[in-house]
Amino acid sequence: TADPVFNFGAGYDMKEQKFAWTNTKGFTITGLLLNKLSFNTELYENQAVFPSWPDSMIRKTGVVPGQGGPKPFKDDGYDYFYCNGYLSYSPVKYINMTLGYGKNFIGDGYRSMILSDVSFNYPYVSLTANFEKVKYTVLYNQFIDRSVTNTYGYGNDRKWATMHYLQVMLWGRLNIGLFDAIIWENA
């Protein structure tokens, strides 16, 4: 499938007495081949004027939360691009391998307790084995530190991570999860 995406939202910031709005245009492409190979990509172009509380954080950090680095847009707005995607392969029923650029979620529920949904997208490789009541995931990531310029004087510094998550379903909805992560600097 290929779908266009349009979103326009508007509001009013009572504190700053100004209009806040977001204008998003983009598309998403999703596919499945032979029930083993799936892919997804999303690309969005955004212009926005934010209310005072996220605006002050964006000015301080240089990052739109969960989106990435913005460029100035007119007097008080931002222009930013967002993209993510993955290629996922399941050679057998119990094994999945995913190569992607985006965010990951570990656990159950609305928010991941381990990985932030406010972070910038990152490249990753994920391997998952799911055998009835036991699920094991290993995740290899490369994160970007937007606050540090790399030693070559261009771009941002990076760090790497390897994460393991073992989840065992005991009975009903009760499960136990064990997690470990190793994060190291770029060599």
What average pLDDT does range 42-65 have in this prediction? 90
Give the percent of the chain with pLDDT over 90.
53
Which has the minimum average pLDDT: 117-121, 132-136, 151-155, 170-174? 151-155
Helical residues (DSSP H) of 32-165, grouped into ranges: 52-61
Q: Identify the band that residue 50 occupies on the pLDDT scale cut at 50, 70 and 90.
A: very high
* Distance, CA of 60 to CA of 69 (rounded, Å): 12
- 110 pLDDT exceeds 70? no
Tell me if 134 sits within 8 A of 142, measured CB to CB.
Answer: no
Q: Identify the band that residue 65 occupies on the pLDDT scale cut at 50, 70 and 90.
A: confident
Coil, strand, or helix at residue 85? strand
Q: Identify the band that residue 109 occupies on the pLDDT scale cut at 50, 70 and 90.
A: low
* Distance, CA of 139 to CA of 137 (rounded, Å): 6
pLDDT for the residue 152: 61
Average per-residue pLDDT for the chain: 88
> Could you identify the residue written with the tokens 């530190």?
145
- 107 pLDDT exceeds 80? no
pTM across the whole model: 0.83
* Distance, CA of 161 to CA of 173 (rounded, Å): 30
* Distance, CA of 50 to CA of 161 (rounded, Å): 32
